[in-house]
Amino acid sequence: MCTVCGCSEGETRIDEQEHTHGHHHDHVHPHDHAHTHDQLHDYGQGPAHAHAPGMSQSRMVQIEQDILSKNNGYAASNRHWFAEHGILALNLVSSPGSGKTTLLGRTIDDLKAEMRLSVIEGDQQTAHDAERIRATGVSALQINTGKGCHLDAHMIGHALDSLQPEQNSVLFIENVGNLVCPAAFDLGEAHKVAILSVTEGEDKPLKYPDMFHAADLMLLNKIDLLPHLQFDVDQCIDYARRVNPRIKVLQVSATSGEGMTNWYQWLKTTQQLLLIGD
């Protein structure tokens, strides 16, 4: 797990055109060793569910607990700020190539006239996705995580200082493309939304169960490609519900627009429920 692999030892930058900010994280022990064994090694065994040469499982558990505890404190502050301002914050998670940014761009184009929207973009490098989102006319801020494989709540708190989302709005947080580490890091969001493309294989929920267990909604994207693929939609949904019986699944295509109205209705209903709750 990234809490022991040293993935965030590089500098994090938060850029909104001319605004930049950098800080370092507490992750330790980069792994640069190579495994040449032919047999299967299950490094998910033990209480830490991870492996780092020279480090005991109990030490790894303590490091992970410390990092996640600190993150959860920042997440609680973010969640309080969102609640005070009536902001529906959604953490969009997926592997690279799921069509997450394309889906987000179409969503913004279709809803910006009737909903207040803003975006925080997370990538290891470049501001390309933030530039694509800004082209839609909504505010977007880029966080470059360097070596980091996920956003964390501290990064989001700093980003909010600059972005300042509008009252009673929807904030989309597009996480770094990764189906492992973002599952463990609460950003203060109301919901994690997992985007899975039909080009990725229907067994992804079983391969990355922590992510799909943490998500409240799965968007099965690129369904316009189904006639050209051997992808079992029912099997994929069954796998997702084995991992998380409460997960809601919507089938969409950001390219053709199929199913997108159901996604938009979910957004509107979820925001209404949040505002009523206030």
Which tens digit of pLDDT belongs to each residue from 195-235?
Answer: 999 999 999 999 999 999 999 999 999 999 999 999 999 99
pLDDT higher at 124 or 36: 124
Task: Please report whether residue 48 resides in a domain.
Answer: no
> What is the C-alpha to C-alpha distance for residues 149 and 175, in angstroms, rounded to an integer?
9
Give 154's Cβ-side CA count (13 Å radius).
Answer: 15
Render pLDDT for 34-58 as a digit per residue (tens, 0 to 9).
433 344 544 345 654 555 556 676 7
Per the structure block, which two tokens stand in for 227?
């006639």
Percent of the chain scored above 90 by pLDDT? Answer: 66
> What is the C-alpha to C-alpha distance for residues 205 and 249, in angstroms, rounded to an integer?
12
> What is the C-alpha to C-alpha distance for residues 278 and 276, in angstroms, rounded to an integer?
5
pTM as predicted? 0.81
Highest mean pLDDT range out of 52-56, 131-135, 237-241? 237-241
> Confidence band (pLDDT; 50, 70, 90) for 21?
very low
Q: Say which CATH number the domain at 102 has.
A: 3.40.50.300
Task: Please report whether residue 23 resides in a domain.
Answer: no
Render pLDDT for 87-112 as a digit per residue (tens, 0 to 9).
999 999 999 999 999 999 999 999 99
Name the average pLDDT for the chain. 84
pLDDT at 33: 37
> Confidence band (pLDDT; 50, 70, 90) for 8?
low
Listed in sequence order, the residues at least 6 apart from 33 whose beta carbon sits closer than 8 Å to its beta carbon are 53
User: 160 pLDDT exceeds 60?
Assistant: yes
> Confidence band (pLDDT; 50, 70, 90) for 15?
confident
Task: Please report whether residue 193 resides in a domain.
Answer: yes
> 64 vs 105, 117, 246, CA distance in Å?
35, 34, 27
> What is the C-alpha to C-alpha distance for residues 244 and 114, in angstroms, rounded to an integer?
32
Task: Please report whether residue 17 resides in a domain.
Answer: no
> What is the C-alpha to C-alpha distance for residues 198 and 202, in angstroms, rounded to an integer?
7
Percent of the chain scored above 70 by pLDDT? Answer: 78
User: 60 pLDDT exceeds 70?
Assistant: no
Task: Please report whether residue 34 resides in a domain.
Answer: no
Task: Please report whether residue 31 resides in a domain.
Answer: no
Task: Please report whether residue 53 resides in a domain.
Answer: no
> Confidence band (pLDDT; 50, 70, 90) for 277?
confident
Structural domain containing residue 132:
69-277
Task: Please report whether residue 35 resides in a domain.
Answer: no
Q: What are phi and psi of 121, to 5 degrees?
A: -105, 130
> What is the C-alpha to C-alpha distance for residues 178 and 180, in angstroms, rounded to an integer?
6
pLDDT at 65: 72
pLDDT higher at 174 or 32: 174
Q: How many structural domains compose the chain?
A: 1
